[in-house]
Amino acid sequence: MDFVGSHILSIDQFDRSDIEKIFAVADRMEPYALRRKKTRVLEGAILGNMFFEPSTRTRLSFGAAFNLLGGQVRETTGFASSALVKGESLFDTARVISGYSDIICMRHPESGSVAEFSQASRVPVINGGDGSNEHPTQALLDLYTIKRELVDRGAGIDGLKIAMIGDLKYGRTVHSLSQLLGLYKDVEIYLVSPKELRMPDYIEERLRKAGHRLVVTESLEEGINNAQIVYSTRIQEERFKSTEEADLYRGRFRINQAIYTANCQPNTVIMHPLPRDSRAEANELDGDLDANPNLAIFRQADNGVLVRMALFALILKVDHLLEKYEREVSWFTRK
């Protein structure tokens, strides 16, 4: 695809070479994010960071990414303060708001709303999550994290062995990640979930068509003992008939250091879309994993900034100018 001036609405837009292009630019963003130097390439540009649904970390990540390229951020958070409640159409909102910025990131609780908005927008729009539908930068940062973690371990995405654990039926992140994996070769995917929360058929089929090998199981141990990447997601109580049933599954899919040591290959990478629920009853990823260098969940969050910087640079066509606008960092940094 041609990124320049484009909307980013769905991961369906990308083929493998697009993904690789984004990742190559993201790699070049790391020195700026780590503050080894800074770039002023978007000085004077304005991001409209339109969060019609709260999501602090995603909002901050997009905003910081734009600031790191030298740009300014105008924001809105929440629905109440919006003209949308007075009966304004997304068309009108888009026509007006796109006059206030050079590029827009938009999050909205309704599926399809961002695509509808983008049709009327006069500037490029990035989907920051539209309900249960799409959150393309999350999928990109997940895959980018897999790539980086594997490269550090001498491997690549082709030939990947990954376990996805938890709520595979409603989990938007595992759906999107699966779809992106369809662009790669020879992937082995362990789908670990309660029967009620099994991965939807259409996604399983797509993965099989791509030539990937699927193992569907309710056993955590079977899922993780052969994987290079363990992608854990949350199981929510409201998906079950009873609290007891939910607790049963959550207890079985919990990962802590002892379970990791007993079942995983050395250097198995642990991922999670965050936020992680750290309350005792959550039974997701225990705190004793924090000392494990293979816990990649915070590197995931950091990678989100790099991927978003890359998209901004590609859409606004400044990826070739990063170095031209480079400056020394004058302040203390330990990053």
Output 170 or 198, the one with its CB closest to a second copy.
170
Convert residues 36-55 into a mask of x (bound to a second copy by CB under 8 A) and - (unbound). Answer: --x-xxxxxxx-x-----xx
Our answer to whether residue 16 is catalytic in this structure is no
Task: Find where tokens 């020879």 sit.
Answer: 186
**Does the active-site annotation cover 320?**
no
Q: Nearer to a second copy by C-beta: 67 or 225? A: 67
Q: How far is CA 311 from CA 62, 136, 250, 318, in A?
A: 10, 11, 36, 10
146-154 contacts: CB < 8 A, separation 24 or more?
146/229, 146/269, 146/271, 147/23, 148/299, 148/303, 149/229, 149/269, 149/296, 149/299, 150/228, 150/229, 150/269, 153/228, 153/267, 153/269
Does the footprint of a second copy cover residue 60 (CB under 8 A)?
Answer: yes
Does 107 qualify as catalytic in the annotation? yes
Q: How far is the CB of 276 from a second copy (least distance, A)?
A: 6
Task: Determine if 200 is a binding residue for a second copy (CB under 8 A).
Answer: no
Other CB atoms within a 10 A radius of the CB of residue 11 amount to: 24
Per-position x/- string for 103-132, each x denoting binding to a second copy as judged by CB under 8 A, each - no binding: -------------------xx---------
CA 251 – CA 307 distance, rounded (Å): 34
Positions 262 through 281 that interact with a second copy (CB under 8 A): 274-279
Q: Which is nearer to a second copy, 92 or 205 (CB)?
A: 92
Instruction: State which of residues 17, 81, 219, 261 lies at the interface with a second copy (CB under 8 A).
Output: 81
How many residues are listed for the chain in this entry? 335
Q: Which of 5, 156, 159, 200 is in the footprint of a second copy by CB under 8 A?
A: 5
State which residue, 13 or 265, has the beta carbon closest to a second copy: 13
159 binds a second copy (CB under 8 A): no
Judged by CB under 8 A, how many residues of this single chain contact a second copy? 78
Residues labelled catalytic: 57-58, 86, 107, 135
